[in-house]
Amino acid sequence: MARKNDNPKDAQLAPHRMDKSDGELTTDQAIRVEDTDNTLRVTPRGPSLLEDFHFREKLMRFDHERIPERVVHARGSGAHGYFQPYGDALAPYTTARFLTDPSAQTPTFVRFSTVQGSRGSTDTPRDVRGFATKFYTDQGNFDLVGNNMPVFFIQDGIKFPDVIHAVKPEPHHEMPQAASAHDTFWDFVSLQPETMHHVIWLMSDRAIPRSYRTMQGFGVNTYRLVNADGQATFVKWHWTPVAGVHSLVWDEAQKISGKDPDFNRRDLWEAIEAGNFPEYELGVQLIPEDQEFAFEGIDLLDDTKLIPEEVVPVTPVGRLVLNRNPDNFFAETEQVAFCVSNLVPGIDFSDDPMLLARAFSYLDTQLTRLGGPNFAQIPINQPVAPVTNHQQDGFHQHQIPLGQANYTPNSLGGGCPVVPGAAGGGFVHYPERVEGVKARRRPETFADHYSQATLFWNSMSAWEKEHIIAAYKFELGKVNAMHVRERMVEHLNQIDHTLAVSVAAGIGVAAPTETHANHGRVSPALSQASMPGSAGAQGRKVAVLVGNGVLAESLQATRAGLTDAGAVVELLAPVDGAVTTASGELLPVDRAMNTVSSVLYDAVVVADGAEALVNDGYAVHFVAEAYKHCKPLGILGTGDQVVQAARLPVFEPSDRATEPASKPIAAALDGVLFVAPGADADGEFIAGLVDAIARHRHYDRPVDGIAA
């Protein structure tokens, strides 16, 4: 982890840290406490006494520990870090120094989140993920409050309460938690076709990221960059993770919800503690103002549309590194307040109606959530740039403003604080010329709701399409109202006929007979399959299954090779403690297998000599499940007996030896690597395993028939 206080934000937080390591227990008034285990009472068995101020304070403080959770994005995890631009490529476009001065390392705080569930809900539902970044720049705070999908459900902020009410647990019985698979969500979206593009993203693997370290982020809304001459350029923001873009599979995500509901939070925390700092590249799509109408079928103000990267490329401009975990969840991650109207000079709004609705909503909701108007004084929210103004009073005022004059203009305070004006770096709103008639009406250019959903569908690989079909079937299969299922199939038919027919077949709805023409366009950049994998196994988790009788040598070589590649390797055995190797030595293990599960790992290795595991149902299931979830498997020597016990297809040694491998066998063995019994786990094997881990999953495997 990064050293504390090594950037201006950390230093600013320092005086607020309470070090309890060598303190004495006191009340909030600093009165030393005699006894905190017994209330003051009439002894031996009489009533408690009201004068026990320590008891009353302790309980009062406890009674008021909770604040309202966020109305959306309640479940989140945060991390400190920094942002640094690569160079001054954006200097012609913006006066925002943190984007253009390559020597500037700007402190940041990022909060990742799910949307639907409440604060204590699971990390791995099918859901959108928030990716909110606060940049503590020397020109003030800039908040980029994005999601991991580049589009949104709706086109107008006035529909936000509707879509959120519909997706949240239903009001009469407050179910389901952290899930969109229920009637009200699908009732709403099937009546609101503008949601169709975002919903197909939600049905894709993007909605179940493997890790916050392996998901993209998008500003979604169109912003403006403004340069020193006052010229504006439209901008779309993109975050790309250095660790590759990877997802879970749905069966796995559901199981993780039970095995480790903190899966993504833990992953982020442990990666940072281990020095595997999550890193993201910031990229921008720049659109000159005079090109605003150049993109057929895409209105830049409609956030249900994206601009394909093939049309406007993403220019990388800098990197974000998350290198320090928060000291305290509540003080930092819970109390951080992001707001899209936190803009610095050089960045401005467009007329995107969603963005402007957000500019109101975030500030508004924080008044309730953080108990009044002074929440910018909470340490995590304080800018590192100086704050001087006449704002005063209100709940939780922490500052002591000096002087007599609390208004502008004044002479009694020497005219201070002076208004810097434009010449002094004051924020100048972009002087956009606007005219029109007031009306509650959507632009006609917002009317197409299907073309980009079709574009997304067309751009998917075969396995991504399968996952999307399965997701629609799962979600709609949970919807009780048949007419809602039917309505959705009609919408899917507008996106793609094959998609509609495939989904209909799984949910008891008649396949649509009418075929709508598919425009056939693709945007390869939308597919996870076409994205580069991770550079290696850095920060990925590998389970190594061992039992008594294990051959230590090939195991140690594998373990060392994976550790050298940056993987986190854990030895799992039927019981905790140690196993006895074939040569009679004790080999310490990291965990008992029954305290974890294959779904918590990226890859599984079965050790040579681990025959003892053949009769261990947990171990056999572990391997079968990892295979079913298309994970890399490294099978050392007689470890293959465990694999055979799992009754996986084509694991007969004779099949493995088939040269050249037939297509089905090759697919079934994709990402499965063997070391012959008694042989060494050599460099080629390790390199192959690392490569298989970097590729993440091996989705071409036929896994439907596997019971796990």
Our CB check for ligand HDE shows the closer of 365 and 556 to be: 365
How far is Cα 193 from Cα 442, in angstroms, rounded to an integer?
14
**Catalytic-role residue among 7, 141, 147, 323:** 147
* Residues in 146-185 that interact with ligand HDE by CB under 6 A: 146-147, 152, 157, 160
Q: List, in order, residues 6 or more apart from 498 with CB less than 8 Å away.
A: none
Q: What share of the chain is helix, strand, coil (3-state, %, to 5)?
A: 35, 15, 50
Q: Is 601 in the site for ligand HDE (CB under 6 A)?
A: no
Among 148, 285, 366, 581, binds ligand HDE (CB under 6 A): 366
DSSP letter string, 570-617: EEEESSSSEEEBTTS-EEE-SEEGGGS-GGG-SEEEE-TT-GGGGG-H
Cβ atoms 200, 116 nearer than 8 A: no
Cβ atoms 222, 350 nearer than 8 A: yes
Among 362, 463, 622, 674, binds ligand HDE (CB under 6 A): 362
| Amino acid symbol at 358 | R
Q: Which stretch binds ligand HDE (CB under 6 A): 239-247, 361-369, 446-454, 573-581?
A: 361-369
Cβ atoms 707, 646 nearer than 8 A: no
Mark residues 99-138: x for contact with ligand HDE by CB under 6 A, - for none: ------------x-x----------------x-x------
The residue behind tokens 């997706």 is 167
Among 354, 492, 650, 681, binds ligand HDE (CB under 6 A): 354
Our CB check for ligand HDE shows the closer of 168 and 319 to be: 168
- Strands of 463-592 (E only): list them: 541-545, 568-573, 578-580, 586-588, 591-592
**DSSP code for 285:** E
Pairing relationship of beta strands 578-580 and 591-592 according to DSSP bridges: unpaired
Q: Is 72 in the site for ligand HDE (CB under 6 A)?
A: yes
Q: Is 376 in the site for ligand HDE (CB under 6 A)?
A: no
SS3 128: coil
Cβ at position 307, least distance to ligand HDE in Å: 15
Q: Which stretch binds ligand HDE (CB under 6 A): 168-176, 350-358, 391-399, 575-583?
A: 350-358
How far is Cα 615 from Cα 633, in angstroms, rounded to an integer?
19
How far is Cα 229 from Cα 94, in angstroms, rounded to an integer?
9
Which residues on adjacent β-strands are paired with residue 569?
542
Our CB check for ligand HDE shows the closer of 67 and 482 to be: 67
Q: Is 217 in the site for ligand HDE (CB under 6 A)?
A: no
Size of the site for ligand HDE (CB under 6 A): 27
Cβ at position 339, least distance to ligand HDE in Å: 7
How far is Cα 554 from Cα 544, in angstroms, rounded to an integer?
12
Q: Is 338 in the site for ligand HDE (CB under 6 A)?
A: yes
Our CB check for ligand HDE shows the closer of 133 and 598 to be: 133
Our CB check for ligand HDE shows the closer of 192 and 502 to be: 192
Cβ at position 338, least distance to ligand HDE in Å: 5
- Nearest residue (beta carbon) to ligand HDE: 130
Q: Which stretch binds ligand HDE (CB under 6 A): 72-80, 179-187, 513-521, 647-655?
A: 72-80
* Residues in 295-334 that interact with ligand HDE by CB under 6 A: 303
Active site residue 147: yes
Cβ atoms 399, 378 nearer than 8 A: no
Q: List, in order, residues 6 or more apart from 631 with CB less than 8 Å away.
A: 598, 601, 602, 603, 604, 671, 697, 698
Distances in whole angstroms, Cα of residue 200 to Cα of each of 72, 263, 618, 682: 20, 24, 36, 44
Among 70, 449, 629, 697, binds ligand HDE (CB under 6 A): 70
CA-wise closest residue to 605 among 548, 535, 685: 685
Cβ at position 600, least distance to ligand HDE in Å: 25
Q: Which stretch binds ligand HDE (CB under 6 A): 353-361, 372-380, 392-400, 672-680?
A: 353-361
Our CB check for ligand HDE shows the closer of 70 and 168 to be: 70
Among 6, 10, 52, 71, binds ligand HDE (CB under 6 A): 71
* Residues in 255-294 that interact with ligand HDE by CB under 6 A: none
Cβ at position 561, least distance to ligand HDE in Å: 39
Among 145, 500, 587, 600, binds ligand HDE (CB under 6 A): 145
Cβ at position 366, least distance to ligand HDE in Å: 5
Our CB check for ligand HDE shows the closer of 93 and 152 to be: 152
Q: Is 73 in the site for ligand HDE (CB under 6 A)?
A: yes
Among 155, 214, 342, 361, binds ligand HDE (CB under 6 A): 361
Cβ atoms 239, 285 nearer than 8 A: no
Cβ at position 503, least distance to ligand HDE in Å: 26
Q: Which long-range contacts (CB under 8 A, 24 or more apart) does 260-265 make?
A: 260/600, 261/121, 261/122, 261/123, 261/124, 262/123, 263/122, 263/123, 263/124, 263/600, 264/77, 264/112, 264/123, 264/124, 264/209, 264/211, 264/212, 265/77, 265/123
Q: Is 81 in the site for ligand HDE (CB under 6 A)?
A: no
**Catalytic-role residue among 7, 54, 73, 493:** 73
The residue behind tokens 């830049």 is 300
Cβ at position 163, least distance to ligand HDE in Å: 8
Cβ at position 159, least distance to ligand HDE in Å: 8
The residue behind tokens 């019971």 is 707
Backbone angles phi, psi at 133, to 5 degrees: -125, 130
Q: Is 220 in the site for ligand HDE (CB under 6 A)?
A: yes
Cβ atoms 23, 16 nearer than 8 A: no
* Residues at the interface with ligand HDE (CB under 6 A): 70-73, 76, 111, 113, 130, 132, 145-147, 152, 157, 160, 220-221, 303, 337-338, 354, 357-358, 361-362, 365-366
- As annotated, the active-site residues are 73, 147
